[in-house]
Amino acid sequence: MSANDTSGEPGRRVVREAAPRPAAEGRASSAARQLDDVLALPDHLSDALWRVGSARIEPFDAPGGLVVCGMGGSAIGGDLAAVAFGNRLSRPLTTERGYELPFAMLPDRAVLCSSYSGDTEETIACYEAAETLGARRIVATTGGELARLARADGVPVIGLPAGLRPRAAVGYLFTVAAEVAALTGAAPGIRTEIDSAAPDLREASVALAARADELVESLRDSIPVIYGADLTAPVALRWKTQINENAKLPAFTATLPEADHNEIEGWNPGEEASRMSAILLEDRDQHPRVRQRFELTASLMEPSAHFVTRIETEGESRTGRLLWAVMLGDLLSLRLADERGVDPGPTALLDRLKESLGTP
């Protein structure tokens, strides 16, 4: 199967390859395209399950667990998969962002190299390091150098659909990480949870868009700081990076209870704190003391902050609640971009940095 092949199973909901984006694409059409990509998250989940199955990867035992190697939007899937499993993980599932594998890693750990473009230099370096170590590898990509190397080495490739911006492929990269964790024995399969989350997200999309509109009104002219814990910790990171990339706005993230041991002092009354807004992402599975900390932390921030809100995830399963919160954050980032009058598509500073480094 080619890395971008979506044909095959009769009756399957097929996610079509996106047409190339015109170079002179206007801000309005770019924003509309990205909104369509966010609202297509339920379809991405279903298609990703099919793509993993189509790769025909035989399950194998990796006693040391699984490490997901990736950067940016290609790495967040590993973080999200780990918290979706929660205490159902039987072996470590970690994400490595950088040029090297984890220190003192043994060859009994499987390695998932996740790069949407297939040309991420850090991920390619990890792929090569895993070969030197003798660790089993799996690749998830649309193509590029990573796909070329994997095919030459006989390493399984899970093909992702081209045409998305990497940040919009979160449904694919989460699902792939979760499925590979199950294939390598790191956790039980959660295919049923992923599958059932799709229709729930479709049904919730209108309400989520309205919620994003409300948040934009309150966040106007402030810098957001997003707090999470356990299930919502990587979701908070996702919100931050989406606001950075889509709204071209500084945003920050922290986790509880750690933030209560240092960062809370930064919310003392003053001009600086008055320019900041706090969004606290809560979930019913969080430790009772952490739940109490969310309430107390919010009350201490409110007198000095521009805006403070607590958001409770919604959904029946951990996976469903996780994806509900991801979709809300993605919608919020696009609404912030619209409010600020910026095109969420281009990444001028990222592109300049890559050009300076001489990377694709």
Break the chain into its structural domains and give their ranges: 27-189, 201-340
The answer, yes or no, to whether residue 11 has pLDDT greater than 60, is: no
pLDDT tens digits along 132-184: 999 999 999 999 999 999 999 999 999 999 999 999 999 999 999 999 999 99
Could you say which of 3.40.30.10, 3.40.50.10490, 3.40.50.1980, 3.30.1360.120 is the CATH number of the domain covering 27-189?
3.40.50.10490
Instruction: Tell me the backbone φ, ψ of residue 351, rounded to 5 degrees.
Output: -65, -40
Beta strands in 129-215 (DSSP E): 137-141, 157-159
Do the Cβ atoms of 198 and 319 come closer than 8 Å?
A: no
Domain 27-189 and domain 201-340 have a common topology: yes
pLDDT tens digits along 302-344: 999 999 999 999 999 999 999 999 999 999 999 999 999 999 9
The CA distance from 5 to 227, in Å, is 39
For the domain 201-340, what is the CATH code? 3.40.50.10490
Active site residues: 245, 261, 354
Report pTM.
0.92
Token output for 26: 């206007």
Residue located via tokens 């990573």: 146
The answer, yes or no, to whether residue 20 has pLDDT greater than 80, is: no
Token output for 18: 């996106």
- CA gyration radius, the chain: 20
Determine the pLDDT at residue 30.
81
- Lowest-confidence region among 10-19, 188-197, 319-328, 329-338: 10-19
59 torsion bin: left (phi>0), alpha (psi -120 to 50), beta (else):
beta
Which amino acid belongs to residue 9?
Answer: E
The answer, yes or no, to whether residue 51 has pLDDT greater than 70, is: yes
